[in-house]
Chain A
């Protein structure tokens, strides 16, 4: 069965609503409209407006009431519609959603999922294209995940809804329409996955950049580099084991993300890899990120977003043995 990522997410929500009567889906426009990206299409008709419903346009209200509902035994799955529109809910997310389990020594469990369509590449105007993962991953108590494929989108969202901990579920909106197979494989919730095996260099990517990293790996073959692609899937907690096993094997690593580099999520990845794999590295771990600018207008975003060429150039700076590479190129 081949589905789009949006379709996979829709199926995950439907299956979760079907499986557990305490699951609720709410937010702005998620009801009869089916969400601005149609991720909730048909759910209100199928499950009724006590399970799937529109709310007032107020993000803090959506998250704050979700916290109260979760305290009262329900499992809310809420939508923030766009990345930068989630910021009014920041206090509820960081001060309460992330901390209530800890503050109450485990008495209060908040199984809340916040779906955030994030990232650029869709020609959106300002406030519609932020990559906000670093704000959330910096907050202990939150799980932050992002799928790179439709199959992962389905399985990660089901796992997120089942999770007893609050989950920030970042949906790479420019991949909503990319298609792929749905499998029956089980998924360990906090595990990265090797998307493509390779021997020479590890590309560490997540969300919207997974597809770009795989494309880069194909192109890199012609350059004589055998690229392994690791899809993090879970940004927090971080899967050191899978990432380090790959880097120990390849001896080189590049981290790729759309968000600005300074103080960004990639810096954490580089630090962790360097701390754990230093003696296996042939070169410094490098980053390919968006520039340190506010997200640009649509006509300029192609210059900002990391693409195959920029990643290939960066791989080229990893202190290669030219003779070995030349031989590989044939």
Chain B
């Protein structure tokens, strides 16, 4: 790179059409599990599809277990991702080992699928600490509670990889509401200018807590937001795990940014503290239940002879065992150590925190 470059001819100035998403969401499977004819996507390998099914079943069981633990007071709060399993599991499976994931608070199922111990995944929501896992151990950024701020971390991380000559991409998860936040726009713009290898996966589940999409944006789709930043955009059926896997895998390998909008639905309320009946109808929920991502893949795999009753039973048992382990881990009372309050505020504890730690130690003695 030199400082005296000729003016860059931006591809978006000459042919913006390649940045636009398709009119209809890309899909590989119809809601009934039959294959879509003529899809431009490449169907993932059989073993990948079976693995997607297995992880979605286990992930859903984890989600219902966490919801139950919230009702028992074991978790302070739990934002369910039930119904969004294809968006949680498929992208994680599509990541290469060196790639990084930057999740939000709703993506516990994705974290479990990345291999993080479920108790560590739930530490934030259980209230034990703000984060339960080591990001470097799993190549997973801290779960982000403020909306859209993680998009910039992902862009910076991916750009740093590029500067260091590493072939590492970042996948950042965000919701439909987060696309209205300024940071999403700054992140898309930086990613476009830098051509950073980062994939923005918007899980459009229809509502930002209670606010529906038509009050969130006037854009034809959220994927259209990429065009203004020179970022190619993809619209995908977010309840089709095979399609989500295919588009994320391809996007991670472009070496540049991609914005993916995955159309899905959150079957439960925003969190256990929310009453979804105040803003949506049971008919709407029923319609989305008929588009269930697990049933869809199950039907396809069964028709293909890749999934029999015995395998389904095995997976169901595995899910139960997993849930039992989650229950056991979360039902242990852990005494918090007040000294933790003062650790890791700075690399080395400054004098005023040493004094406050000593004060608290004497006070609690």
Contacts and interface: CB of A to CB of B under 8 A. Distances in A.
Contacts of A92: 149, 152, 183
Interface string B75-100: 00000000000000000000000000
B154 A68 contact: yes
B135 A56 contact: no
B142 A103 contact: yes
A150 interface: no
Contact of A65 (B129, B136, B159, B161): B159
A237 B351 contact: yes
Contacts, number: 148
A107 B134 contact: yes
- Interface of B, helix, strand, loop or mixed by DSSP: helix
A96 B149 contact: yes
Contact of A64 (B142, B152, B340, B344): B152
Contacts of B351: 237, 240-241
Contacts of B131: 103-105
Nearest to A234: B350
B160 interface: yes
A102 B149 CA distance: 17
Contact of A108 (B2, B142, B159, B187): B142
A73 B154 CA distance: 14
Given A65-B190, A102-B345, A105-B129, A49 B3 contact: yes
B363 to A, nearest CB: 18
Contact of B155 (A45, A68, A95, A240): A68
B186 A60 contact: yes
A105 B153 CA distance: 18
B159 A68 contact: yes
A73 B157 CA distance: 9
Contacts of B157: 68-69, 71-72
> Which of A50, A69, A190, A238 is packed against the most chain B CB atoms within 10 Å?
A69
Contacts of B343: 102, 105-106
B346 A101 contact: yes
A143 interface: yes
A68 B130 contact: no
Given A65-B152, A104-B134, A107-B134, A56 B186 contact: yes
A101 B3 contact: no
Contacts of B135: 71, 104, 107-108
B148 to A, nearest CB: 9
Interface in B125-165: 129-131, 134-136, 141-142, 146, 149, 151-161, 163-164
A220 interface: no
Given A58-B186, A240-B352, A143 B346 contact: yes
Given A106-B343, A165-B346, A237-B350, A74 B160 contact: yes
A88 interface: yes
Contacts of B1: 48-50
B3 A32 contact: yes
Nearest to B144: A96
Contact of B142 (A74, A100, A164): A100
Contact of B189 (A58, A88, A143, A241): A58
A276 to B, nearest CB: 11
B149 A95 contact: yes
Contacts of B159: 65, 68-69
A70 B136 CA distance: 13
- Size bin of chain A's contact surface: 35 or more
A103 B134 CA distance: 10
A61 B3 contact: no
Contacts of A31: 3
Interface residues of B, number: 43
Contacts of B352: 237-238, 240
A141 B349 CA distance: 10
B182 interface: yes
A58 B160 contact: no
Contacts of B154: 68
A41 to B, nearest CB: 14
A100 B3 CA distance: 35
A164 B193 CA distance: 29
B219 interface: no
B347 interface: yes
A181 interface: no
A256 interface: no
A66 B157 CA distance: 8
Contacts of B183: 60-61, 64, 91-92
A190 to B, nearest CB: 7
A68 B158 contact: yes
A65 B189 CA distance: 12
A67 interface: yes
Nearest to B130: A103
Contacts of A45: 3
Given A100-B142, A104-B135, A141-B345, A72 B186 contact: no
B8 to A, nearest CB: 13
Interface in A191-205: none
A274 to B, nearest CB: 16
Contact of A68 (B134, B160, B164): B160
Nearest to B157: A68
Contacts of B163: 24, 50, 69, 74
Interface string A237-268: 11011000000000000000000000000000
A107 B136 contact: yes
Given A56-B189, A65-B153, 7 more contacts: A32-B3, A58-B189, A60-B186, A61-B187, A102-B345, A105-B343, A141-B345
14 contacts: A31-B3, A56-B193, A58-B190, A66-B156, A72-B160, A74-B163, A91-B149, A95-B146, A96-B146, A101-B344, A103-B130, A105-B340, A105-B344, A240-B352
Interface of B: 1-3, 129-131, 134-136, 141-142, 146, 149, 151-161, 163-164, 170, 182-183, 186-187, 189-190, 193, 340, 343-347, 350-352
